[in-house]
A and B are shown apart, each in its own frame.
Chain A
């Protein structure tokens, strides 16, 4: 009746019990606040059933930030354990728990934080920058979010019920096969990643069609902001790469559930096939994470240098080149698997080629600052840190791309330092830059700039302290994912140093969290009245903050890059048009329902509760048939209502 689920699943080690208690308390706290403020109805009507990408984007980012806290807590546990667990001491968590922690850390950060902030920002900004009122497939977009959210919840459930995977964030077989990992851990991992992956694919299709089909009149592809170009390229990557992940996880599932032999050691299986397939997805995935960050900087740097982006065409071709090349480099993740010099050398050289367009982008950004007027607001601080850290990460990437060097540093902490330089120094700093840049636009009030700066310094120094010494540890022979090591290795003092670095980052995160709360509390005093606080150049700054539900009362017409600048300089008079009726898609709870049902299917399949999985799966199909059999329903905002809403926002601006 309950499959493999027994009462044992609720028993954990002491350290895990603490984590579960904290999670439950936070959850109860949040629900309590909602009850106290009586906001269930508002949440339901305005958020949970919304198909407005502006709302969905905010939900993506809030979910991603919550998951970031969990992932960072995992990181702190790891660093604490590694600082303590040397010689006779075995730290404060067991080896098995440690392995669950780093598997959860990687999975959470890549799938839930990384993809969450990428899709969040795409939802919020892409429609605004292309002058559109909506995305191409609003329901599909919402469904993509709810599948993402259900995967996040499943990962939190895995903390409390049973064990999580101990096989790392990519779960290589044979370790992740049924023989070596017979319990529910890898199954949890499979279902949460699979569900999130399907959601990502849906969102990828949505944004690709949105960008190709819904740009405002006059905005040809070569007049789009670079952020939209980076979104376009990232979505191309999503469409080509995520099906590989779906297929590979599918085959691992069949191995584990139906006794198949794709990746087993015996019966003709081939674990190396899994490694190839998963990295054929995995490498494009990291570019999906980084390209939007590049796009963000291409918006932030010109705005705060009061100058056009240098070398627009070059930047576009660099993006396209990176997109294409990212599909022919996957083997550099396993040079040490013994493919032979022919194969290794080819992939090594292809990997080096990607550095060229990436370097070009950095030079173009720097020369955007050349002869500009550079304002060092917090978005620009993050850009500054990005250039310094990402360059080092890229340089070590070239080192890793040379197979003989890689043989000595593969899977060591050198590798960890490299990719954290890319993900934190690149993607996360890019997200922080975009977050602080677009925050006033989306919410209508400012973040505290002072607290932003403090947070920045904590992050900058903390990151360097937590990751630069890891290069040295890698040279000292320290492999990744070790829960214990001998004192004679000499690693301990460095682990203590990087632990301190993690603590400094924790200070940074605390300042950011405090800053967010304080800014929300003080929002009435820090309103963004004009809608254009940074003297922006792209269309999102031409509408009020926060944007009205229809984004643009009158669809803009563009004829050049940086259209808002052109309008401000009087070079692009907008044609006089009357307001017209605006049709917007109706809200629907179907996305949420399907998300919840997917969560139950994932949980039921993990625990082999077959009847529950089948019932909920049939319910999902039913929901889909119902949804896809309806007529296209819309809400209408009449021209008169639009006129009134526009007039009200102009009045608000003139009061101050």
Chain B
């Protein structure tokens, strides 16, 4: 643990010059704080996963995961989100190189991929509801819709955040402040991808086997 000096505008004596931020310790503080927020989100999802694990067999006579889940759809969703994460990563690399338009371009691709993920998920949900398998039918369906839906809500918030970041980068370029926000956002986006991998594995894959 380095001896961090006081707040705000006093630069760290061992500044990491690869990161364009003379306000070095604001960056490291904010990143640490955001990691902690991600940890809390992780535990939130853990609680939802636990609930799903406890309730996933409580179908109350209705359809089970085997009857409802389509591996092909969820696999496509997984690939979409994975590529969205990759393009977000490329956006981050462009930010490190101070290439503002490339950042916006990569993020736009990531946005489109993310939006199509949400569209597919909404389609899956609407289809289930129209067939009569809504969240009111059984505990299994309640926990499924909530776990996957909460992830979808996080992705939607991420899309909104992504838009705001893109606008800021477009208007202000890569500055100390916008770089920090790009970094935080991409942490969030990768985290959501990670959570989806778990959902895909434990909900869809194991639900169908």
Contact = CB atoms under 8 A, between A and B. Distances in A.
Contacts of A248: 47
A582 to B, nearest CB: 9
Contacts of A201: 40
A29 interface: no
Nearest to A201: B40
On chain A, which size bracket covers the interface? 35 or more
A267 B138 contact: yes
A178 to B, nearest CB: 11
Interface in A588-632: 621, 625, 628-629, 631-632
Contact of B142 (A137, A254, A625, A629): A254
Nearest to A137: B33
Given A246-B44, A259-B135, A268 B7 contact: no
Contact of A555 (B5, B29, B43): B5
A534 B181 CA distance: 46
A217 B3 CA distance: 6
A625 B164 contact: yes
A169 interface: no
A240 interface: yes
A270 B58 contact: yes
Contacts of B47: 243-244, 247-248, 277
B22 to A, nearest CB: 12
Contact of B7 (A134, A258, A631): A134
Contacts of B189: none
A260 B6 contact: no
A213 interface: yes
Given A209-B29, A213-B29, A243-B43, A262 B5 contact: no
A341 interface: no
Contacts of A262: 51, 55, 139, 142-143, 146
B167 to A, nearest CB: 9
Contact of A270 (B40, B54, B136): B54
A239 B135 contact: no
A583 interface: yes
A209 B6 contact: no
Contact of A247 (B25, B30, B44, B140): B44
Nearest to A198: B40
Nearest to B140: A268
A216 interface: yes
B26 interface: yes
Contact of A212 (B9, B32, B43, B143): B32
Interface string B50-63: 11001100111000
Contacts of A214: 4, 6-7, 29
22 contacts: A134-B8, A137-B33, A209-B33, A213-B32, A214-B29, A240-B39, A243-B44, A243-B47, A250-B146, A254-B146, A260-B146, A262-B142, A267-B136, A269-B142, A270-B58, A273-B51, A273-B54, A273-B55, A277-B47, A555-B5, A629-B164, A629-B168
A11 interface: no
Nearest to B23: A632
B60 A247 contact: no
A268 B138 contact: yes
A218 B47 CA distance: 40
Contact of A205 (B25, B36, B42, B160): B36
A631 B176 CA distance: 10
Given A209-B33, A270-B55, A631-B177, A247 B28 contact: no
A395 interface: no
Contacts of A631: 177
A410 interface: no
Interface in B1-51: 1, 3-9, 23, 25-26, 28-30, 32-33, 36-37, 39-44, 47-48, 50-51
